[in-house]
């Protein structure tokens, strides 16, 4: 597939700003040394191939909604927004607490956001940026004023802990942002989204849905865990994120030199380095935390955004670029003037 998706004019007709960010990771740290005792791997292999040193694992009984609500509370606190003020909650997740209700409804209950409409979207690791785009559309079109967007995943619940190809890569966590209309203010300049269903099987959970329900006969085959073709996923990640970033910058009428900070999906340090090469952006401009959290799926870019924001990596008026890739395939990028 040629990764030159169509660009489109998405300059919002109403300024949509991120007015607060938040994140949460579970307390339990799983190190590479501990993984050495679980599967045939080594700290040296994991670190040199991925850059990951440790990841967080949710506690027994700690669900995606619990992590999402904690990240949301942090974002709402920073934004100075009460639960009653939230018009809409969108969660990007592939590890919902339950098939139904949506995880967003569970979070609504925990937060007491009684005035919000709630739904989840399924776009794997791209879920947070897909949700930002949806939120932006609702706000730009005057449907809602205040939207809570969350990326949250408990990947540990769909990992085969005997599969060394996947179990070393992922972790649990949540990140959130409050988006709101703000007159004459900086905000989301553009968001670009794309998908390619032809590559669905390079990163997928084959079972557990209606196509292949879990039965007593197939239960031992772990069909409801994540399967991955690592090399192809690596290749598509670099191509897709490169295309998404280029498209978002073109839509925004900016070049890579205009960017102060790039917040990429946190899957693999080598993917981020290849992306930096491709976009000709110095690696120092990329915010990276995958060494501490691994790949937290939809949460990854949201946690990194919150971390970079709280560290003061950019100031009001700076241009930042978020860029993601995930199962589906899905990919997306957003240019934001902070």
Ligand X SMILES: CC(C)(COP(=O)(O)OP(=O)(O)OC[C@H]1O[C@@H](n2cnc3c(N)ncnc32)[C@H](O)[C@@H]1OP(=O)(O)O)[C@@H](O)C(=O)NCCC(=O)NCCS
State the catalytic residue, choosing from 118, 125, 167, 261: 125
User: Does 125 qualify as catalytic in the annotation?
Assistant: yes
What values do phi and psi take at 91, rounded to 5? -120, 125
Instruction: Give, as ranges, the residues between 68 and 107 that touch ligand X (CB under 6 A).
Output: none
Q: What's the start-to-end Cα distance of the chain, in Å?
A: 34
Residue of 12, 101, 208, 230 interacting with ligand X (CB under 6 A): 230
Q: Does 294 engage in binding with ligand X (CB under 6 A)? A: no
Residue of 268, 289, 333, 337 interacting with ligand X (CB under 6 A): 268
DSSP string, 156-216: GGG--TT-HHHHTTB-EEEEEEEEEE-TT---EEEEEEEE-GGGGGGEE--SSSTTS---T
Residue 125 C-beta: closest distance to ligand X, Å: 4
Instruction: Give, as ranges, the residues between 308 and 327 that touch ligand X (CB under 6 A).
Output: 325-326
User: Alpha-carbon Rg of the chain, whole angstroms?
Assistant: 19
State the Cα–Cα distance between residues 144 and 138, nearest whole angstrom: 6
Residue 37 C-beta: closest distance to ligand X, Å: 13
CA distances from 104 to 97, 150, 174, 205 (A): 10, 9, 13, 22
Q: Does 50 engage in binding with ligand X (CB under 6 A)? A: yes
| For ligand X, the closer CB: 138 or 286 | 286
Residue 3 C-beta: closest distance to ligand X, Å: 16
Residue whose C-alpha is closest to residue 325's, from 260, 256, 252, 274: 274
Q: Does 275 engage in binding with ligand X (CB under 6 A)? A: no
Q: How many residues of this chain interact with ligand X, rule: CB under 6 A?
A: 22
Stretch that binds ligand X, among 46-54, 79-87, 115-123, 143-151 (CB under 6 A): 46-54
Name the pairing type of β-strands 146-154 and 88-92: parallel
Residue 236 C-beta: closest distance to ligand X, Å: 9
Instruction: Give, as ranges, the residues between 154 and 213 that touch ligand X (CB under 6 A).
Output: 164-165, 168-169, 203
Q: Does residue 188 contact residue 334 with C-beta atoms inside 8 Å?
A: yes
Q: Does residue 336 contact residue 319 with C-beta atoms inside 8 Å?
A: yes
User: Does 265 qualify as catalytic in the annotation?
Assistant: yes
Residue 55 C-beta: closest distance to ligand X, Å: 13
Residue whose C-alpha is closest to residue 81's, from 117, 118, 127, 112: 112
State the catalytic residue, choosing from 63, 265, 287, 289: 265
Q: Does 137 engage in binding with ligand X (CB under 6 A)? A: no
Residue whose C-alpha is closest to residue 147's, from 66, 78, 90: 90
Q: Which residues bind ligand X (CB under 6 A)?
A: 41, 45-46, 49-50, 125, 164-165, 168-169, 203, 228, 230-231, 233-234, 237, 267-268, 295, 325-326
**Which residues are known catalytic residues?**
125, 265, 295
């Amino acid at each position: 597939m040629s990764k030159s998706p169509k660009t489109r004019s998405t300059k919002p007709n109403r300024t949509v700003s991120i007015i607060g960010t938040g994140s949460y990771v579970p307390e339990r740290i799983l190190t590479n040394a501990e993984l050495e005792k679980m599967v045939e791997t080594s700290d040296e292999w994991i670190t040199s191939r991925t850059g990951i040193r440790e990841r967080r694992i949710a506690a027994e009984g700690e669900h995606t909604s619990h992590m999402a609500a904690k990240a949301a509370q942090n974002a709402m606190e920073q934004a100075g927004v009460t639960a009653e003020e939230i018009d809409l909650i969108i969660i990007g997740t592939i590890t919902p607490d339950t098939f139904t209700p949506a995880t967003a409804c569970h979070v609504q209950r925990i937060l007491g956001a009684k005035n919000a409409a709630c739904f989840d979207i399924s776009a794997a690791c791209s879920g947070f940026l897909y949700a930002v785009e949806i939120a932006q559309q609702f706000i730009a079109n005057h449907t809602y004023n205040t939207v809570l967007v969350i990326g949250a995943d408990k990947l540990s619940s769909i990992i085969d802990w005997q599969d060394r190809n996947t179990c070393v890569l992922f972790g649990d966590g949540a990140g959130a942002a409050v988006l709101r209309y703000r007159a004459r203010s900086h905000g989301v300049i553009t968001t670009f989204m794309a998908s390619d269903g032809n590559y669905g099987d390079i990163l997928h959970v084959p079972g557990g849905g209606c196509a292949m329900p879990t039965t007593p006969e197939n239960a031992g085959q772990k069909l409801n865990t994540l399967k991955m073709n690592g090399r192809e996923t690596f290749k598509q990640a670099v191509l897709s994120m490169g295309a998404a970033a280029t498209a978002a910058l073109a839509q925004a009428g900016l070049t890579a030199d205009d960017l102060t900070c790039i917040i990429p999906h946190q899957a693999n340090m080598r993917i981020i380095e290849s992306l930096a090469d491709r976009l000709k952006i110095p690696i120092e401009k990329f915010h990276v935390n995958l060494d501490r959290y691994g790949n937290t799926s939809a949460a990854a870019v949201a946690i990194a955004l919150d971390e970079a924001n709280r560290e003061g990596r950019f100031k009001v008026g700076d241009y930042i670029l978020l860029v993601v890739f995930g199962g589906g395939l899905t990919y997306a990028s957003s240019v934001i003037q902070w």
